[in-house]
Structures are given as C-alpha cells and as structure tokens.
Amino acid sequence: MWPWSRQTRLNKTSQQSDAQKPGPHIKAGAARLTHSLNDTQSVLRSISGVDTALLKQLISQTSALNQELNALTQELNPHTSLDQFTGDIEAVYQRLQSGVGQSPDIIIRRFLMGDKAKIPAVLTFVDGLTDTQMIDQDTIMLAQQYDHAFTRHHDPQTIHQVVHDLVTASGHVTTETSWNKLMVKLMGGNTILFLSGSSTALVIDTVKYRARSLTTPTTERSVLGPQEAFNEVVLTQMNLLRMRIKSPNLRFDSLTIGEMSHTTVIVAHIEGLTNPELVAAVKRKLSVAKMATLNIGQELTPLLASRYHSLFPQVRRTERPDVVARELTMGKVAILVDNTPFAMVVPNTLADFYQTLEDYTMSFWGASLERLVRFLGLILGLLLPPLYIALTSVNPELLPTKLVITIAGSRVGLPLPPVMEVLTMWAIIEILREASLRLPKELSNTLGTVGAIVVGTAIVKAGIVSPLMIVIITLTALGLFTSPNYEMATPWRVLFWFLIALSYLFGLFGIILGLLAILAHLASLENFGVPYLSPFGPYRWRDLKDTFVRFPESSLTKRPAYLQPLDVTQSSHWHVDPMPHPQLGQAQKEEQHG
C-alpha cells in the first residue's frame, strides 16, 4: 500500500488506540474524565440565557455518556480487556442498561435461575426481531424451574454448558465471549443470556423475521412458469433455492459485509459442478469490500463487474428463484444479499440477458419465435430513428422512389429537420415514461395512454412532426423494452443517441461505424474471464443453439461451454423411448377377460 495514503494513516491510529486500551492507568483516567464531566454538567446546568433546547440536548447527551463511562469503570479490572465479558452480572446489567439499553426496543431482563440455586442471570433481546414465545417459555420459564444440576456441583465457569446442554429448549444455541460480537448477534435478533460467574454468554437463536409474504414476480412476469418471487429475507431466499435444488451439493457460503450494517451476503453455488475457480474469484472479490453499510445488493456490482464504467450490465439481477436455480444448475454463482429481494447471478454474457425461464416453459417453436421477436425489437428500437434520419436526410437514394415521394409529401411544410423531429418525440416519450413510472399505479396507465395519444395527435396536428415519426418513435419505445431484463434497456437507450449523432453526420455509413464500435466494446468486455460477446465472439457452437432461436431440449443436452463447468452433461437419454407403443387395447382386453 502507498505509505502515505489515508487508509494507512487510519490503520495506524486504530492500532495505537488498540494498544492503549487495557491497563491500570485507564481506570484513573476514566475516573478523572468522569469527574470533569460531572463538573461540566453542573456548570452547564447553571448557565442561562442561551439556546435552552440545545443545552438540554447537550446535557442529556453528557449524562448518557456519564452513565456509560460509569458502567465501564465499574466493570474494568486490570486483567481483562473491555471487550471481554467478565461474569460479573451486575456490571453486565449496568453496561447493557447504559449502552444499548437506552433505546426502547432493547429489552433487558434480570432473573434468578434455578428453583433452589438462584443464580442471577441477565437476558437481553431486541423486541420485535425475536420470537417472544421462545424466550418466555423455552428459556426463562425452563431456567427458573430447573432444579437438578446446580445443587450438586456448582462451578460458575461451566454453568453455561449446563444451561446449553440441559436447560434451554431452542434449536440453535451457541456461546460467545466477545462483547462486540455479542452485540452484533443481539442486533440480529438473537437472545443473549448472561449467567453470573460464567465468562461465556449463551446466544440463543430466537430470530423471528418480519418478512413480506412471497408474492408473484413483478419485474419478470411469466405466463406458464412458477409464480414466486424472492422476499427481503436472505433465509427465505436460501429456502426457496433449497426447495428447487435438494442436492446436498448446493452450498451457501456466508460473508458479512458492512462495518455498520453487518449485512449477510450468501454466495451460492453447486459443489462439483460450478467451476471452483469462479467461486473462489467471486468470494475473493467480495471479501475486499469495505463499506459502512450495504443496503442493497446493487452496491456490490462494482466489485463483480470487470469494467464497471461500461454501459452494459454484467451482473444479472433477478427476483425469480426459478431463474436463479436454473442458472446455478448451469454452473453459475448466485449472490444473495439480506434485505435485497433480487439475487445477483454471475458471470453473464450479452445473450444471457435475452433469455428467460419463459423460453423453457414453452415449445421450442414458441420460444424461438419469442427470441426472434426480442431481437427484432432490439433492432427496431435501436436503429429505426437513426435509419429514418439516414434514409430521409443523408441517403434518400436507397428508398424506393414512391416511398420517398410519400415521405417528402408528408414533410411538406414541416418546419423542423428529421433530427429535431426525433429529438422532440424522444424527449416526449422519455418524459411520459418517467412520469408514469413515478405516479401511483392507478394513474400511470391512464397517463401513459392518454399522454401518448393526445400528445401524438396534437403534435401532428400542430405540424411539428410528421405522422410517420409517431409510428417510428412508438415502435422504438416499445422495441427497446422487449428485452426480458429491464437493465438491458438502459444501455441501448443511451447508445441510441450515439447512433443518432452518427447517422446525422454520416448517414448509413455512420450507423455501421457506430455498430462496429458497439460490437468492439462488447467484445472487449469480460466478466469473470467469460467473454461478454460469447457465443458470437468467440464462437461457441454449442451455445449458439440457445441464442437467436432455442433448439429443442433434446439438442440442448450440454451445459453452456463458456461457464466451463466441471460436469458438462445436463441431460441425456432424449432419444431413448423405453415404451414406444403401449398396448392399451391389449391391457383393457386382458382386464375384461380375466
């Protein structure tokens, strides 16, 4: 690392503060600090004639700090670090009460454990994130009533083991000694049980997620496919995948990202199928993530994309568990992020963004037709307005004479050149689209239709654009959204301008140069070593069978070549028909006669 970078400096200071942490002189220092704080507090109380609200806030904050420091000093002893829990139950209670306990959603409960032994214990949990029934009945009640082991051999350091083994009735109980880790667990919805004398606390899994129920996918709809979408809870996401892939080889590797948010990130893959190099690459790329919070999975895409500044999406996001399951079985890696209902799948090629699960739910005829229509939509959406400019302004000689006369006739008296027509109409369309996206659902439909029709008719009547332009721009607006993936529409919407400019300058020649440049850019992209333009460049004959058209299932027996999975064969025995002519009549006859 660069020796004078900010990062290094930060590291240094944090190291220094770490070094100073334990030690006897702290206690004296802290006491002095408390003292002075008390003084300041009293001084502040006596001040008048200033902003009272500000003062009150200051006072309350300092008193809170005071409390916290008091609790700390009480617990401090020269042999342990602050992070280490000591087993002094009163100190723990104070520390909790003055720290996290100040927010109302943290519940701290003191009770005595054992009917006869009466060991003091403290239990804390976050109200709302936990299952209170589990705490009440399966922990507190059992602990209070328990009455065997304590009386006979009462060693405070092993008591947590006894509770773990014999008392609590929850499924998942772990132990922890570090205060910082305990706090993170607490915030995650676990219940922490401190027992007097034991320096190890019990972490009882009482997590209860407040989750949205599973709904139908809204961004990727399907007619004949499953109708289930992810919700925000990563556990549910994993469950939905497990339901589809019951193989024990489906692995979920967990990471935590975000120094403040501690967001769970799951890397899902199938052992023995997914290329291990790919899994390692994904994990390594994610492990360097350093961010305060990870709120949405999208924030990870810069880490996962090889050239983040590219217009084209390289990480596919989907809310459909069936899509993720399919991609996993093809040999890709999925990344699930807590609180994000979209799973991310890597690596991807351009062609992947034009495939949907829908294509595999119908016959290959229908699927191929849909693929071709999507391709046509892309071509029309991207090229129609540039072609209009090129063919009406720069190279009209390519059109049939009759069409030219028609276009020339429709343009008589129009004040604006075709470029301005396109720009005007495109601006209108984009505004309408954005507005209908932001409006409430009920209004947006009306606005979209009414806006398009009214504005379209009016602008033609006003003589600003020609009627042909309305047709072209409508086709464009619709064409770009035939892409099954919403993200894939954005790059084309931007490149559209690039092509407009080129067609204005050079006509058809410009359009071809522009397309070549786009192709060159696509060819230079790589995602986890997978060429983005595959299977067109480099050619991969096996994968070409699932691009513009979808070949029948019987010829798609291999997994995609570009993923280089460990196991290539996906399906076989398509040509074996074990029972070509079932003798239905014979069976019926035999049944009737015998």
Partner 1 sequence: MGNRRRWWRITVVAVMTALLTWSLTGCWDDKSLDTRTLVLAMGFYPARQPGQIAVYFAIPTPAGLTSDSGSSSSGGASGPPIIILKGVGHSIGQAFSAAQASTNRDLYLGHTIFLLFSTKLSPKALRRLVNALDRIGTLDKTPFVAATSAPFASVMGTIPQEHFPPLYYEELFSCTTCQQLMLGVRFWEMSDRLWTPGVDLVLPLLRPTKQGPAVDEVALYRGTRYVMTLTPKETAAYAIAAGLSRKTSIFFPRLWDTNLDFVADKAHVATRIMHGRLQATLAIHATATLESIATPTETAAQVAAISQKAAALLADQAVSFVRLSQRHDVDALGFGRSLAWSAPAIFSRYRHWHQIYPHLNVSVRAAITINRLGDVR
Partner 2 sequence: MAWITERMPRISAGQFATMITAGYLGLGIFYFPRPLVVDAGRYGLYGLWLDGFAALILMRFVFAMGHLIPNETLSGFSPALLSKPVSWLLGFYTIAYHISLAISAVILFSFVLGNIFLPSTPIWAISAALTLTSAYMAYGGVQALARTLQASYIPLLVLTILSVSMAALSIRHPALLIPTTDVALVPLVEGAYHQFVIFIGFQLSVTLYPFVKNTERQQAERYSLLALVGIVLALSMEYEVIMAVFGPNAITELRWPLASTYRIISLSGFYISKLGTLLIVLWTIVIVAFVSVRLWCLAHDLSAMAPRFKYEAALGLMTLLTIGGCLLFPNAKVADLLNEHYLLPLGLAYLVLVPSTVMLVARARPTLIAQLRTRYEPGPDI
Look at residue 583 and give the partner it binds from partner 1, partner 2, none, a contact being a CB closer than 5 to 8 Å depending on partner kind. Answer: none
CA 285-286-290 angle, 5° bins: 110
Look at residue 414 and give the partner it binds from partner 1, partner 2, none, a contact being a CB closer than 5 to 8 Å depending on partner kind. Answer: partner 1
Look at residue 413 and give the partner it binds from partner 2, partner 1, none, a contact being a CB closer than 5 to 8 Å depending on partner kind. Answer: partner 1
In whole angstroms, the minimum distance from the beta carbon of 413 to partner 1 comes to: 6
How many angstroms separate the CA atoms of 199 and 194, rounded? 8
Residues facing 120 on adjacent strands: 112
In whole angstroms, the minimum distance from the beta carbon of 427 to partner 1 comes to: 19
Interacting residue ranges for partner 2, rule: CB under 8 A: 391, 394-395, 397-401, 403, 505-510, 512-513, 516-517, 519-524, 531, 533, 536-539
Interacting residue ranges for partner 1, rule: CB under 8 A: 389, 392-397, 401-402, 404-414, 417-419, 460, 463, 467, 504-507
How many angstroms separate the CA atoms of 580 and 28, rounded? 91
What type of residue sits at position 346? V
Look at residue 463 and give the partner it binds from partner 2, partner 1, none, a contact being a CB closer than 5 to 8 Å depending on partner kind. Answer: partner 1
How many angstroms separate the CA atoms of 537 and 560, rounded? 15
* Closest to partner 1 by CB, 248 or 400: 400
With contact defined as beta carbons under 8 Å apart, do 146 and 113 qualify?
yes
How many angstroms separate the CA atoms of 180 and 183, rounded? 5
* Closest to partner 1 by CB, 2 or 541: 2
Q: What length does the chain have?
A: 594
Look at residue 496 and give the partner it binds from partner 2, partner 1, none, a contact being a CB closer than 5 to 8 Å depending on partner kind. Answer: none
Look at residue 520 and give the partner it binds from partner 2, partner 1, none, a contact being a CB closer than 5 to 8 Å depending on partner kind. Answer: partner 2
Which residues neighbour 422 within 8 Å (Cβ) at sequence distance 6 or greater? 385, 388, 389, 469, 472, 473, 500
Look at residue 510 and give the partner it binds from partner 2, partner 1, none, a contact being a CB closer than 5 to 8 Å depending on partner kind. Answer: partner 2
463: left (phi over 0), alpha (psi -120 to 50) or beta: left
Closest CA to 486 of 216, 215, 219: 219
* Closest to partner 1 by CB, 302 or 463: 463
Consecutive H or E run containing 122: strand 119-126
Closest CA to 491 of 382, 356, 376, 344: 382
Q: How many CB atoms lie within 10 A of CB 522?
A: 19
* Closest to partner 1 by CB, 417 or 451: 417
In whole angstroms, the minimum distance from the beta carbon of 532 to partner 2 comes to: 9
* Closest to partner 1 by CB, 187 or 464: 464
In whole angstroms, the minimum distance from the beta carbon of 23 to partner 2 comes to: 50
With contact defined as beta carbons under 8 Å apart, do 507 and 394 qualify?
yes
* Closest to partner 1 by CB, 411 or 558: 411
In whole angstroms, the minimum distance from the beta carbon of 425 to partner 2 comes to: 20
Tokens of 425: 């109409």
Look at residue 240 and give the partner it binds from partner 1, partner 2, none, a contact being a CB closer than 5 to 8 Å depending on partner kind. Answer: none
How many angstroms separate the CA atoms of 89 and 81, rounded? 16
In whole angstroms, the minimum distance from the beta carbon of 391 to partner 1 comes to: 10
Which residues neighbour 341 within 8 Å (Cβ) at sequence distance 6 or greater? 212, 229, 230, 231, 232, 237, 319
In whole angstroms, the minimum distance from the beta carbon of 236 to partner 1 comes to: 47
* Closest to partner 2 by CB, 192 or 511: 511
* Closest to partner 2 by CB, 230 or 536: 536
In whole angstroms, the minimum distance from the beta carbon of 477 to partner 1 comes to: 23
